[in-house]
Amino acid sequence: MDAQNNTALVTGGRGFIGRAVVKLLQRSGCGVVSLDATPGTSSSASRHEIECDLTNVRQLQRVFEIEAISGIIHLAAILPTAAQREPARATGVNVQGSLHLLEMARGFGVRRFVFGSSLSVYGTCAEDQVVTEACRAAPEDLYGVAKLYVEQLGEAYRQYGLDFVSLRIGRVVGSGARSASSAWRSQIFELLGSKDAAEIVVPYVGSERILLVHVDDVARMLVGLMQAERPAHTVYNAACESVVVADLKREVEGLNSNIRVELGEAYACGNPRLLDSSRFRQEFGFQMLPIFEQLKPAAEK
């Protein structure tokens, strides 16, 4: 996708990952249409924010009629906790909304469709199992089931000439997540410069391993898939780092003695603990700093 002559549609553009993706696309010189169910607040020559519900076909079609969309990065979704509370609404957005978007892509001749999938498609895995893209998918919740189904829909839509590719993403960390259920993912960055006492609650037991990836690295991977000439595969595990929770606690507290990290009793159910992301790393020459190295600048502010 030639950044200078194309416009990318980013669904969920006002979300945690979406904001990072939009900024990166803008820096690359690509025109951006940011789509979200919540109202937009700004626009520029390279970016338009449009309020649109993916379940509303007429709204969505109007966007494609007005904007010359050449590629899509699809991130809009009802997240796991909310999906468990409202399964019908989550299915409407995560599945039906995605189908509507695929239909628009087919009807309006979009070339590349990058889907923000999730490692939750694999379900709970053994502690020592290193998960590759060839491993059996066995999602255990509504969110994971929807992600897997949309991957399968996208694969079917390739017969219409749509170049569909999905990135299976782990637990995303970084400043600005605005998450009520997983606030720690941002707090480990946002509170490191605090001069006052602060507590961060990480719900997992200290011995547990969790797969983490910084939001800026996720954005780089998604945009890389969008702009690649021809990805060799249709599914990629995102490059993630397997972090022991007790080590995360020790690192954060060591960087700022004002912070106390309180651990819980949960285990990493519904997700792998160890991951093989060599397919993406090798094909795209992708490298990233370890999470603990990315934490240090936040403590120095």
Per-residue model confidence as pLDDT tens digits over 259-282: 999 999 999 899 999 999 999 999
- Judged against a pLDDT cut of 60, whether residue 73 lies above it is answered with yes
pLDDT of residue 94: 97
Determine the structural domain holding residue 198 and report its residue range. Answer: 174-211+241-270+289-299
Contacts 24+ apart (CB under 8 A), 19-23: 19/176, 20/174, 20/215, 20/216, 20/218, 20/219, 21/73, 21/75, 21/218, 21/219, 21/222, 21/223, 22/47, 23/219
pLDDT in tens, 24-61: 999 999 999 999 998 755 444 445 899 999 999 999 99
> Is 150 in contact with 95 (CB distance < 8 Å)?
yes
Q: What is the CATH number of the domain that holds 204?
A: 3.90.25
Query: In one letter, which amino acid is 98?
Result: S
Calpha distance 201→194 (Å, rounded): 16
Of 144, 115, 132, 67, the C-alpha closest to 225 is 115
283 in a structural domain? no
Question: Based on the domain organization, do 218 and 106 belong to the same domain?
Answer: yes
Question: Based on the domain organization, do 47 and 62 belong to the same domain?
Answer: yes
279 in a structural domain? no
Question: Based on the domain organization, do 219 and 96 belong to the same domain?
Answer: yes
Question: Based on the domain organization, do 11 and 92 belong to the same domain?
Answer: yes
Q: Considering the chain, what is the average pLDDT of its residues?
A: 93
205 in a structural domain? yes
277 in a structural domain? no
Residues with Cβ within 8 Å of 277's Cβ and at least 6 positions away in sequence, in order, are 236, 237, 238, 239, 240
142 in a structural domain? yes
pLDDT of residue 44: 46
Question: Based on the domain organization, do 146 and 207 belong to the same domain?
Answer: no
pLDDT in tens, 194-250: 999 999 999 999 999 999 999 999 999 999 999 999 999 999 999 999 999 999 999
Residues with Cβ within 8 Å of 103's Cβ and at least 6 positions away in sequence, in order, are none
Question: Based on the domain organization, do 185 and 67 belong to the same domain?
Answer: no
Per DSSP, the three-state class of 115 is strand
What sign does the dihedral 201-203-206-211 (CA atoms) show?
Answer: negative
192 in a structural domain? yes
Question: Based on the domain organization, do 206 and 295 belong to the same domain?
Answer: yes
pLDDT in tens, 105-158: 999 999 999 999 999 999 999 999 999 999 999 999 999 999 999 999 999 999
Question: Based on the domain organization, do 92 and 103 belong to the same domain?
Answer: yes
Q: How many domains would you assign to the chain?
A: 2
8 in a structural domain? yes
Decide: residue 46, CB within 10 A, 0-12 exposed, 13-18 middle, 19+ buried. Answer: middle
- Judged against a pLDDT cut of 90, whether residue 295 lies above it is answered with yes
Confidence class for position 180, pLDDT limits 50, 70, 90: confident
Question: Based on the domain organization, do 43 and 119 belong to the same domain?
Answer: yes
107 in a structural domain? yes
Question: Based on the domain organization, do 146 and 250 belong to the same domain?
Answer: no
Question: Based on the domain organization, do 205 and 128 belong to the same domain?
Answer: no
Confidence class for position 71, pLDDT limits 50, 70, 90: very high
Query: In one letter, which amino acid is 238?
Result: A
Q: What is the CATH number of the domain that holds 58?
A: 3.40.50.720
- Judged against a pLDDT cut of 90, whether residue 299 lies above it is answered with no
Question: Based on the domain organization, do 198 and 86 belong to the same domain?
Answer: no
